[in-house]
Chains A and B, each alone.
Chain A
Amino acid sequence: MAEEKRLMKGNEAMGEAAVRAGCDAYFGYPITPQNELTAYMAKHMLDKKRTFIQAESEVAAINMVFGAGATGARVMTSSSSPGVSLKQEGISYACGADVPCVVINVSRSGPGLGGISPAQGDYFQSTRGGGHGDYYHIVLAPKSVQEAADLTYEAFDLADQWRMPAMVLADGMIGQMMEGVSFKPPKDPATRIAKPWAVGTSSNRPVNHVDSTHLDPDEFEAVNRARFERYAEMKKVLPRYEEHDIDDAELVLVAYGTSARVSYGAVQMARKLGIKAGLFRPITLWPFPEKRMGELADAGKKFLAVEMSMGQMVEDVRLYTHGKSEVFFYGRCGGNIPTEEAVLAEIQKILKK
């Protein structure tokens, strides 16, 4: 039974969802616009006799995540764009050592120190393995406070199931706005996936090693190939998306997170004018719902990617429509958010209506 709805900021809702998902340890370092999340964890983790550490830096925090995750604990860190850049080395190590963890990025405008307003310029970094080496990890993109809570709650299970970091890629808007949210009950620790690979103090089993060092090229290649087989399996079962008004749409808007909300508003306005627009919203950015994208391309749709960036996800739209479709782009950046009116104008320009 869902509990009564609460009015919460996205940042706080992700914190509460993590607590309920059984996060054993949180390691963070402050940065706007995700500070309420760190503050929420500070307030609630210690009450529950769990671990909360405000690390001395983002680099320290992600390495604490690695260490605690290697022991089999459910672990999380959160930050915003420049802070997540600092964590990339640790994320690469976690991917290389198959350490499950949850990383939340409440993204802001960049590059560089940038600004503190919402942006989606971290798509490439998130979906292409933002650190060094050959890897991917799960990326989930919520569109609302409710979904930010639900995806954070689920991210812990997905990370454990697939033995890798699961990133929740929110943006400053999702983190800062308040909406109604109802939470699922706390997870029963007994339902957790067993982690026989974890390091610890058990003396009656062979020694476990959790690390990413492989000096023998053939052995290392085999490890990477095995990991990519797992990726291939994930691509079959994990992609998730939401669609609105797709069937008869001439132009399909593709957008995630906040820009998907704006695009949905623009689609509704277009429909009122008799313009056949629809919305395709990827929920998993990695693995991207590429199969469905291909089906829509085969159906002869045109596409308009809407992003709070100079155009990053649009490259995946082009990739997975295999050059069969006309793909357009509309974006705002620097902390600006596209308006429904501007997106509608873009739809009208493309369809000449």
Chain B
Amino acid sequence: MTEKTFMAGFGGQGVISMGQLWVYCAMKEGLEVTFFPFYGAEKRGGIARAGVIVSTEEIASPLVTSPDSAIVMNMDSLPLCENILKKDGVMLVNSSLVKVEPERKDIRVVKIPCNEIAEKLGDVKFANMVMLGALSQVTGAVKLDKLEPILKTFFSESKHRFIPKNLEAMEAGAKAAS
């Protein structure tokens, strides 16, 4: 099994964290992983993209050029993801911010209203965790069952109180995608 995912959004949406948590969980589940980020110099609002690969085999190119799955967190990322996604690939769209339909008919589109789900849980910042849950549900590549202990090392102690909400967001995303 090899799952190559391209994640794209704007800076501040947690795209980089989402990619890191995805490969961190995969590594703890015994998979080979690679994470390569691209982001602008801006603190917020610039581009934020990550190419991530999880595999049962040794990973060849760390560059994700023809992904099996793509995550579209904002409007600007849609054309880019649509352009590179593999035929029959799955596109997970944050339908709270992306109101346009992809033109391609040879891909599977799964719409998740990430921002709305996150806001219901109390903060739009959980939107990336909602999408992470959806990605796990749709691809089955990473189970995310070790997310809780990973979040404990990922977040500094002062932020541990947010862990239950993050887990809840992940589960809500999985449910929305099922």
- Other-chain residue from A180, A261, A262, A340 in contact with B27 (beta carbon distance below 8 A): A180
Complex contact A7–B61 (CB within 8 A): no
Number of residues from B at the complex interface, CB < 8 A:
17
Interface residues of B in 10-59 (CB under 8 A from A): 20, 23-24, 27, 32-37, 59
A122-130, A170-178, A209-217: which lies at the interface: A170-178
Q: Are A179 and B34 in contact (CB under 8 A)?
A: yes
Partner of B65, one of A179, A261, A340: A340
Q: Once the chains bind, are A268 and B62 in contact (CB under 8 Å)? A: no
A178, B23: Cβ atoms closer than 8 Å: yes
A180 to chain B: closest residue by CB: B27
Collect the chain B residues with CB atoms within 8 Å of residue A265's CB.
Answer: 60-61
Beyond A7-B20, A7-B23, A178-B20, is A261–B61 a contact (Cβ under 8 Å)? yes
Nearest B-chain residue to A265, judged by Cβ: B60
Whether a CB of chain A sits under 8 angstroms from the CB of B63 is yes
Q: Does B66 contact A (CB under 8 A)?
A: yes
CA distance A339 to B35 in the complex (A): 16
Asked if residues B61 and A264 are in contact (CB atoms below 8 Å), the reply is yes
B63 to chain A, nearest CB (A): 5
| Cβ distance B35 to chain A, nearest Cβ, rounded Å | 4
User: What's the Cα separation between A268 and B2 when bound, in Å?
Assistant: 13
- Please encode chain A, from 323 to 353, with 1 for each CB lying within 8 Å of some chain B CB and 0 for all others: 0000000000000010111000000000000
Q: Please indicate the chain A residues that have their CB under 8 angstroms from the CB of B61 in the complex.
A: 261-262, 264-265, 339-340
Contact check, B62 vs A261: say whether CB atoms are below 8 A apart.
Answer: yes
Question: Is B63 within 8 A of A179, CB to CB?
Answer: no
Q: What are the interface flags for A259-302 relative to B under an 8 Å C-beta threshold, 1 for contact and 0 otherwise?
A: 00110110010000000000000000000000000000000000
Q: Which of these, B27, B37, B59, contacts A7 with CB under 8 Å?
A: B27
Please determine whether B35 and A177 come into contact, CB atoms closer than 8 angstroms.
yes
Given A7-B20, A7-B23, A180-B27, check contact A339 B63 (CB 8 Å).
yes
Check if B33 sits within 8 Å of A180, measured CB to CB. yes
Give, as a whole number of angstroms, the nearest-CB distance from A12 to chain B.
13
Contact B35–A178 (Cβ < 8 Å):
yes
Q: Which of A5, A180, A265 has the largest count of B CB atoms less than 10 A from its CB?
A: A180
Q: When A261-B62, A337-B63 are in contact, do A176 and B36 touch as well, CB less than 8 Å?
A: yes
Chain B residue numbers with a CB within 8 Å of A339 are: 61, 63, 65
Flag if A261 contacts B60 (CB, 8 Å). Answer: yes
Given A7-B33, A179-B33, A179-B35: A268 in contact with B60 (beta carbons within 8 A): yes
Q: Is the CB of A180 within 8 A of B32?
A: yes
A341 lies within 8 A of B65 (CB): yes
Kindly state the separation between the CA atoms of A353 and B62 in the bound complex, as whole angstroms: 26
Known: A7-B23, A178-B34. A258 touches B60 (CB 8 A): no
A341 to B61 CA separation, bound complex (whole angstroms): 11
Complex Cα distance A179/B35, Å? 6
Distance between A235 CB and nearest chain B CB, rounded to angstroms: 29
Q: How far is the CB of A1 from chain B (nearest CB, A)?
A: 18
- 8 Å CB interface, A1-26 against B: 5, 7
CB distance from B146 to the nearest CB of A (A): 12
Interchain nearest-CB distance for B2 vs A (Å): 10
Taking the closest CB of chain B, its distance from the CB of A200, in whole angstroms, is 43
Distance between Cα atoms of A262 and B34 in the complex (Å)? 13
Tell me the minimal C-beta distance from A129 to chain B in angstroms: 31
Name the residue of chain B whose CB is nearest to the CB of A279.
B60
Give the distance in Å from the alpha carbon of A7 to the alpha carbon of B60 in the complex.
Answer: 18
Shortest A164–chain B CB gap in Å is 31
Given contacts A262-B60, A264-B61, A339-B65, contact A177 B34 (CB under 8 A): yes
Instruction: Tell which of B24, B35, B63 touches A262, judged by Cβ atoms closer than 8 Å.
Output: B63
Are A173's CB and B60's CB within 8 A? no
Question: Can you spell out 9 A-B residue pairs with CB atoms less than 8 angstroms apart?
Answer: A5-B27, A179-B34, A179-B35, A261-B60, A261-B61, A262-B60, A262-B61, A340-B63, A341-B66
Q: List 10 extra interface pairs beyond A268-B60, A339-B61, CB under 8 A.
A: A173-B63, A176-B36, A177-B35, A179-B34, A179-B35, A258-B62, A265-B61, A337-B63, A340-B60, A340-B65
List the 6 closest pairs (A to B, CB-CB), nearest first: A265-B60, A265-B61, A178-B35, A262-B61, A264-B60, A177-B36
